[in-house]
Amino acid sequence: MKNDVAHYISQTAKELQPSGIRKFFDLAAGMKDVISLGVGEPDFVTPWNIREAAILSLEQGFTSYTANAGLLELREEISAYLGTRFGVSYDAKNQIIVTVGASQAIDIAFRAILNQGDEVLIVEPAFVSYAPLVSLAGGKPIAVSTSATNGFKVTPEQIEQAITEKTKAILLCFPNNPTGTSLNKAELMEIAKIIEKHDLLVVSDEIYAELSYDETFTSFAAIPGMYERTILINGFSKGFAMTGWRLGMLAAPKEFVEAMLKIYQYTTLCAPTMLQYGAIEALRNTYHEVESMQRSYRRRRNYVVQTLNTIGLDCHTPGGAFYVFPSIRATGLTSVQFAEELLIQEKVAVVPGNVFGECGEGYIRCSYATSMPQLQEALKRMQRFLETKGIKRGEKIEQNS
C-alpha cells in the first residue's frame, strides 16, 4: 500500500466539505460549562409509550427484515397520518417508503430523479445536507438566496430568476432550518405557479411540519397541481422527539416511489424492525404529547425572539421549527468571528449563519430546544458579550430560576 492514503480516497469524497455545524461543535465539545444553542434536536426524550412499543416488539421477537418499503402496518398509519393531518392521500401499498431518517429520504429522492448535470434549486439559507446530496447524485445545486427584509421568505421572482433549461427540481423546506421561516398556503400557491410553468419537480422537506406555531401547516403536495410533481419528505425526529431512532418517511406518486425503492433496497434493505413498531405507536397514540411539546417550543420562541431584539440582535419571528436566525451585523463581526468569540468569551455555542449558504453571512442560528433556565443564562451571557462590543440595549436579563 502507498504511504499517501489520500491516494486511495475518491475524488468525490475528497471534494465533500465536512458539515460546518459539526466542525463548530467539535470545538465546543472540549470546553466546560458551555451552553449549546447549537445542534438542532428536541430536548425531550421520546414519549414513553413509543419506547415501550419498540421494547415490546423486541420481547415478542420481531427481529427479522420487513418489506423494503417498511411494515405495511406502519405505512398504513403513515398514509392515515398524512391524510388526516395534511389532507394528502397516499396509497400505503405503493406510494410510501419508511426511510432511515428524512436524511436518507432526501438522498434517494435526488438519486432517483437527477441525471448528470441537472440543476436543483435550493432556497438558502438551507439545511447543510441538501447541496452535498445533490452533488453526490450527480446534480448541480443552485442557490436561491433569500433575505431578512421579508423574513427569509422566498418569492416566485427569486425562484424564476434562477431557473435555466437545466433546472430539474427545487428543494423547499418550510418551516425552515435554519431560519424557522414558514410560508402560508397563499404564498405556496404563488410558488406553485412558477413550478408548473417551468415543469419542475419538488422535493418538499416537511420535517418541521408539526412545529408550526402561528398558521396551519400546508403540505406542498396539497397545493392544487403539485401532488403529481412532489416528493414529500417527513419524519419522526423533530415533531415526535425521535432523532436517535433514525426514522423518516417519504410519499410520492407511485412511479417515483418505484424508482426510489430500487435504490433503497440495494443500499439499506429496510429500516430497523423494532423501531418501526415504535413508530406505529407514535402515529397512533402520541398526538397530545406532540401538541404539548409544540406549546413548549412556542413559549420559548416568543421569549427568545423578544429577548434577542431587546439586547440588540435584530431577529424576525419565525413561524416554526426551533431555530431563530438573528442578525449580528450591528457587532461588525463576521458570523464565524461572532460564534468563535462568543464561545471563547462566554461559553455559548451558536452556529455561524454562513454554513447555511452565503446569504446566511451576518447571522447566527440559535436553537431554542433547550430548557428555559439554560436559555435565560445563554441570553444573559450574550448580552454581556454584546456589551463588550459596544451594544447596550434593554434591561439586564435576570434569571428566574
CA distance linking residue 279 with residue 276, whole number of Å: 5
- Residue 101 sits in the site that holds ligand PLP (CB under 6 A): yes
CA distance linking residue 236 with residue 81, whole number of Å: 12
Q: Which of 118, 205, 210, 281 binds ligand PLP (CB under 6 A)?
A: 205
Q: Residue 104: name the closest of 287, 234, 258, 294 by CA.
A: 234
Taking the least distance from each CB to ligand PLP, the nearer of 71 and 209 is 209
Q: Which of 38, 125, 248, 278 binds ligand PLP (CB under 6 A)?
A: 248
Number of residues that bind ligand PLP (CB under 6 A): 13
CA distance linking residue 154 with residue 163, whole number of Å: 14
Give the nearest distance from C-beta 283 to ligand PLP in angstroms. Answer: 15
CA distance linking residue 85 with residue 259, whole number of Å: 27
Residues in CB range of 328: below 8 A, 6 or more apart: 313, 335, 338, 353, 362, 363, 364
Alpha-carbon dihedral of residues 317, 322, 328, 330, nearest 10 degrees? 30
287, three cell numbers: 398526538
CA distance linking residue 6 with residue 387, whole number of Å: 46
Q: Which of 71, 74, 97, 102 binds ligand PLP (CB under 6 A)?
A: 102
- Residue 220 sits in the site that holds ligand PLP (CB under 6 A): no
CA distance linking residue 224 with residue 233, whole number of Å: 18
- CA angle, 236 then 277 then 42, to 5°: 25
State phi, psi for 394 to the nearest 5 degrees: 75, 175
- Residue 207 sits in the site that holds ligand PLP (CB under 6 A): yes
Taking the least distance from each CB to ligand PLP, the nearer of 218 and 237 is 237
Taking the least distance from each CB to ligand PLP, the nearer of 70 and 248 is 248
163, three cell numbers: 431557473
- Residue 369 sits in the site that holds ligand PLP (CB under 6 A): no
Q: Which residue's CB atom is positioned nearest to ligand PLP?
A: 101
Taking the least distance from each CB to ligand PLP, the nearer of 333 and 349 is 349
Taking the least distance from each CB to ligand PLP, the nearer of 180 and 362 is 180
CA distance linking residue 259 with residue 241, whole number of Å: 30
- Residue 42 sits in the site that holds ligand PLP (CB under 6 A): no
304, three cell numbers: 427568545
Question: Of the ranges 46-54, 101-109, 150-158, 371-379, which one interacts with ligand PLP (CB under 6 A)?
Answer: 101-109
- Residue 352 sits in the site that holds ligand PLP (CB under 6 A): no
Give the nearest distance from C-beta 102 to ligand PLP in angstroms. Answer: 3
Taking the least distance from each CB to ligand PLP, the nearer of 300 and 380 is 300
- Residue 237 sits in the site that holds ligand PLP (CB under 6 A): yes
Q: Residue 218: name the closest of 175, 257, 247 by CA.
A: 175
Asked if residue 167 lies in contact with residue 140, where contact means CB atoms within 8 angstroms, the answer is no
Question: Of the ranges 95-103, 364-372, 375-383, 389-397, which one interacts with ligand PLP (CB under 6 A)?
Answer: 95-103
- Residue 103 sits in the site that holds ligand PLP (CB under 6 A): yes
Contacts with ligand PLP in 140-179 (CB under 6 A)? 173, 177
Footprint on this chain of ligand PLP (rule: CB under 6 A)? 40, 101-103, 127, 173, 177, 205, 207, 235, 237, 243, 248
